Chains A and B, each alone.
Chain A
Amino acid sequence: DADVTQTPRNRITKTGKRIMLECSQTKGHDRMYWYRQDPGLGLRLIYYSFDVKDINKGEISDGYSVSRQAQAKFSLSLESAIPNQTALYFCATSDLWGTEAFFGQGTRLTVV
C-alpha cells in the first residue's frame, strides 16, 4: 500500500457542486500539505497543517477549505466548484526536518 493515499484518483464534477478530496498517510508525519498543479505553472501550495489543531493557508487558498480529522487524514474541499479549479491536486507529508516530501498519487479534478 502507498504511504500517502488520495481518493478519488479522478473526478469530474459540475460547476457549483461541493466536492471533497481525501488524503490519508501511514508515514506517521505530523505535517501534511495540499498542492495544486496546473500545466506550465508547477505546483502551488493551497493549505498546510502541522497537526490537527494547526492549519495554515498557502499561496492559493481562496475557494478551498481543509479539515484535519486526525494525524493521518487531511481533506480538501471545494465548497462550490468552478471550472478554473480544474487541475491535478496532490497531498503530501513531510517529517519534522523537511528533508523530504512524500506525495500521493494525485487527484485529477475536472469541473465542467
Chain B
Amino acid sequence: AQTVTQSQPEMSVQEAETVTLSCTYDTSESDYYLFWYKQPPSRQMILVIRQEAYKQQNATENRFSVNFQKAAKSFSLKISDSQLGDAAMYFCAYSSYSGGGADGLTFGKGTHLIIQP
C-alpha cells in the first residue's frame, strides 16, 4: 500500500515571500500521479498542481511549482509571492497510474498554511 507523509502540520509565511511545503511518499510502483490540493475555509477541495511520475520536468502553474525527486520519493510544493488568498490547508496526494487510479487517492495529513500580512 502507498503512504503519503506531510511532516509539517503548520507553516507560516509573510505575504509576498516564498514558502515550500514538503511531501514524501512510499510506493513500489514506477508510474503514478502526484497532486497538491488546496482546501480553503470554504472546505472545497481545489486541485493546485499535478505531476506525472514519468515526466522528469517539474510541473508549474503560475506561482505554484513542484520539486519532484522520484528517486528520493519527494514532492514539495513551492508557492512564490505568497498572497493572503493562499491561506489554506494543503494536501499532498498519490494516485496509481495502473488502472487509471481506479482505487482512488491516498492523501497526506495536510499542512495548514498561514499567510502573515
- Nearest CB in chain A: distance from B23 CB, A: 11
Question: Across the interface, do B43 and A45 meet the contact criterion of CB distance under 8 Å?
Answer: no
Decide yes or no: A97 and B100 within 8 Å by CB, A42-B91, A105-B44, A106-B43 being known contacts.
yes
Chain A residue at smallest Cβ distance from B103: A48
Question: Across the interface, do B109 and A106 meet the contact criterion of CB distance under 8 Å?
Answer: no
Q: Is the CB of A12 closer than 8 A to any CB of chain B?
A: no
CA separation between A90 and B102, bound complex, in Å?
17
Q: Is the CB of B45 closer than 8 A to any CB of chain A?
A: yes
- Which of A40, A48, A56, A98 is close to B100, meaning CB atoms less than 8 Å apart? A98
- Nearest CB in chain B: distance from A44 CB, A: 7
Q: Is the CB of B107 closer than 8 A to any CB of chain A?
A: yes
- Which of A35, A88, A98 is close to B101, meaning CB atoms less than 8 Å apart? A98
CA separation between A97 and B50, bound complex, in Å?
13
CA separation between A95 and B102, bound complex, in Å?
9
CA separation between A88 and B89, bound complex, in Å?
14
Question: Across the interface, do B50 and A43 meet the contact criterion of CB distance under 8 Å?
Answer: no
Could you tell me which B residues sit within 8 Å of A by CB distance? 4, 6, 9, 33, 35, 43-45, 47, 50, 91, 95-97, 99-110
Could you tell me which A residues sit within 8 Å of B by CB distance? 31, 33, 35, 40-45, 48, 50, 56, 58, 88, 90, 92, 94-101, 103, 105-106, 108
